[in-house]
Amino acid sequence: MTRTRTSDLSLSRVEPWNRPWFQPWHHRLQTYRQELVVLGCIIILCITVGLYNENFFNESNLVSVFSGNGFIAVAAIGMSLVIITGHIDVSVGSLIGVLATLSGSLAVNGVPIWLAWLLPVLVGAGINGLVGWVVAYLRIPSIVVTLGMLSILKGGLISVTGGQWITDLPSGFFIAQQRWLGIPAPIWFMVVLTAITALWLHYTATGRSLYAVGGNPEAARAAGLNPKRVCVLAFALHGLLAGLAAVLFATQLQVIQSTVPPNLELTIITAAVIGGVSILGGTGTVIGASLAAILFACIGSALVFLNVSAYWLRAVLGTLILVTVLIDITRRHRREEG
């Protein structure tokens, strides 16, 4: 899989010699430079903390690290699609909170469990598809539209639920607590969705159109693409993935909090950006976003084992996103000057 460049408007097919198995190994490393950096950070951090406190490598902790942030990884995949097209969604945390509450409420009220899982996914796709339509066809900046949606969703959630948690959930509801072939379900969701989305982005005309529109909308339009439709598609897929993330979030514990997880949208956006998606649009992969979600879980766990306040996690994530954005902007300037 090659990282799509905005100058490549041959969206209908990928020539064989441009595929990764035809490329020299050093070209492949260059393509996935950011992802390899994140993976290297995960490995170094785990080894360092494990040497300091061997309990870090306990099975229960490793399972928590790799599956606890599974819903964040799934949401970050969708966020990556939106950012690649040149937009952003700051309401995703509130949307996940609303959809998780919807899923739990349906299950408690006797709705078939499969429907309690499916409806939040469809509702998420519908809500964000509408957001994408407003952004694309009414030409309102995505930051403005999603800020408004954030307030609507967060305020509506508190008003409807009164802040009460959802309890007495049916036993078959907790899909995030299941193990398939001995592997926690969130890990399956994270890996499979990452692989499917990565392949779709790089080996289909529709997927590659997201890069073209995010990099240069006018050039994409000249090549026969419809940037407005692409924008709506990206937001709708983002909403669908947010719905899946909400189901994982709702089913990982025995109760569902009827409040939005604090700073969840920042964590999801940070995962996408640190994973290699340019905040300016046009480049990036979803593989890095999933790896970044795992990195955040590793950092949070490491702080506990190092007896450091967990509040430092927010400072670390803020520093990481600033450094990543500065590197991305510097890289773009050098490319343009070159």
The 3-state DSSP class for residue 325 equals helix
Q: What is the pLDDT of residue 29?
A: 57
Of the candidates 127, 31, 78, which has an alpha carbon nearest to the alpha carbon of residue 244? 78
Q: What is the pLDDT of residue 93?
A: 92
Hey, is 143 helix, strand or coil? Answer: helix
Please give the distance of CA 162 from its chain centroid, rounded to a whole number: 29
The rounded average pLDDT for each run of 10 residues, N- to C-terminus, in the chain (338 residues) is 44 42 53 81 90 86 86 95 95 93 92 95 96 96 94 85 84 91 93 95 92 91 93 97 95 84 87 88 89 90 82 77 78 66
Class of domain 58-337: mainly alpha
Token pair for 153: 């969703």
Instruction: Note the pTM of the prediction, 2 decimals.
Output: 0.87
The residue extents of the domains of the chain are 58-337
What gap in Å lies between CA 151 and CA 70, rounded to an integer? 26
Give 184's strand partners. 179
Q: What is the pLDDT of residue 256?
A: 87
At residue 276, the pLDDT reads 85
